[in-house]
């Protein structure tokens, strides 16, 4: 399947971390992930997949260290010119008070967006708090997008948030994490169609394998989800992401790329290039 990729890809969902330098509380107890994962590890993991550019996504460091994480990743980008986008954490729930942090982050031209994870908040209405919505609405002032990280339980409230932020460019990480392990399709399908009705919302084709059974998932189990996302968003608003090394809990890197290539087999070369390359550059403004 990899031979269908006649061009190098853009990976819009790369995690790297060094837990000797920065604290990641969520890693404790995860035997596979609780160690440093660095660019040289990623390069090995990619195998035969040729990656032209990468976008780093915040890795849920201790919140007090979010600026340090962004600065550390910037130092990596100075060593590897393919690392062209950084999407750090920021305290958007502070509303207008978050602007000082946004200004500092956006001073770095590699910072393209913000991810403040909604999924881990115990309050399902966290994303509807007025200050949080105000913080999200501030992002276009700094030429920043917003990565939506939720699971299917948060879809209804997140749709309400999106309605209140018409000028923000959104991308849904991991297709909103449906319960693939239990083959749950509804009401996820309906909510995805509603998300797609907003022209400022894109969808990242990433993270599906970690929502499936890590040891026994099949490409046939993933295909209905991939098909539905493409049916909703079209090839103009779907964007590939590797989600390495989190996805390594369920797959090696080339297998995920091959699975996605298999699922969209029959699409045109132009559509394939949009999914794996062009849309990423457009959304994350990698050529600016």
pLDDT of the residue at 256: 98
Q: Is residue 288 part of a domain?
A: no
Q: What is the pTM of this model?
A: 0.98
Query: Which are the contacts of 278, defined by CB distance < 8 A and separation ≥ 6?
Result: none
CB count within 10 Å of CB 220 equals 10
pLDDT reported for residue 288: 85
Model confidence over 15-45: pLDDT tens digits?
A: 999 999 999 999 999 999 999 999 999 999 9
Q: Given this model, what pLDDT does residue 116 score?
A: 98
What 26-29 contacts at long range (C-beta under 8 Å, 24+ apart), as own/partner pairs, is 26/60
The residue segments making up the domain with residue 258 are 2-283
Q: In what order do the strands lie in the sheet with 51-57?
A: 9-14, 51-57, 83-87
Residue pair 159/192 in contact by the 8 Å Cβ criterion: no
Distance from C-alpha of 2 to C-alpha of 259, rounded to nearest angstrom = 10
Computed on alpha carbons and rounded to an integer, the radius of gyration of the chain in Å comes to 18
Tell me how far apart the alpha carbons of residues 38 and 6 are, in angstroms, rounded to a whole number.
Answer: 27
177 occurs within a structural domain: yes
What's 240-269 look like in SS3? ECCCECHHHHCCCHHHHHHHHHHHCCCCCH
Residues of the chain below pLDDT 70: none
- Rounded CA-CA distance 123/111 in Å is 28
218 in any annotated domain = yes
CA distances from 183 to 172, 179, 223, 251 (A): 20, 6, 11, 18
Bond into 245 cis (ω within 30): yes
First to last CA, the chain: 32
Q: What is the pLDDT of residue 157?
A: 98
Q: Check residue 156 and give its pLDDT.
A: 98
pLDDT for residue 109: 98
The CATH number that applies at residue 71 is: 3.20.20.140
- Residue pair 197/278 in contact (Cβ under 8 Å)? The answer is no
Distance from chain centroid for Cα 57: 7
Could you give the number of structural domains in the chain?
1
Residue partners of 29: CB distance under 8 A and separation at least 6: none
């Amino acid at each position: 399947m990899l031979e269908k990729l006649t061009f190098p890809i853009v990976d819009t969902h790369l995690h790297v971390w060094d837990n000797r330098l920065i604290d990641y509380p969520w890693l404790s107890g995860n035997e596979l992930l609780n160690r440093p994962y660095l660019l040289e590890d990623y390069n090995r993991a990619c195998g035969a997949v040729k990656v032209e550019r990468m976008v780093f996504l915040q890795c849920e460091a201790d919140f007090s260290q979010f600026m340090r994480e962004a600065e550390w990743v910037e130092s990596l980008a100075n060593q590897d010119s393919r690392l062209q986008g950084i999407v750090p954490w920021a305290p958007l729930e502070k509303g207008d008070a978050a602007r000082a942090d946004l200004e500092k982050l956006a001073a770095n031209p590699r910072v393209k967006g913000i991810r403040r994870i909604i999924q881990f908040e115990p309050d399902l209405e966290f994303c509807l708090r007025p200050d949080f919505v105000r913080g999200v609405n501030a992002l276009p002032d700094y030429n920043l997008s917003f990565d939506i990280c939720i699971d299917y339980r948060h879809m209804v409230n997140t749709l309400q948030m999106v309605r209140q932020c018409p000028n923000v460019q959104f991308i849904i990480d991991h297709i909103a994490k449906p319960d693939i392990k239990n083959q749950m399709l509804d009401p996820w399908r309906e909510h995805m169609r509603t998300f797609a009705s907003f022209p400022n919302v894109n969808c990242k084709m990433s993270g599906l394998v970690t929502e499936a059974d890590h040891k026994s998932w099949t490409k046939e189990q993933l295909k209905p989800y991939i098909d539905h996302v493409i049916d909703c968003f079209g090839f103009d608003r779907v964007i590939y992401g590797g989600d390495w090394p989190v996805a390594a809990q369920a797959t090696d890197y080339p297998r995920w790329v091959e699975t996605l290539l298999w699922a969209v087999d029959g699409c045109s070369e132009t559509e394939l290039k949009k999914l794996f390359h062009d849309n990423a550059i457009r959304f994350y403004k990698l050529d600016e």
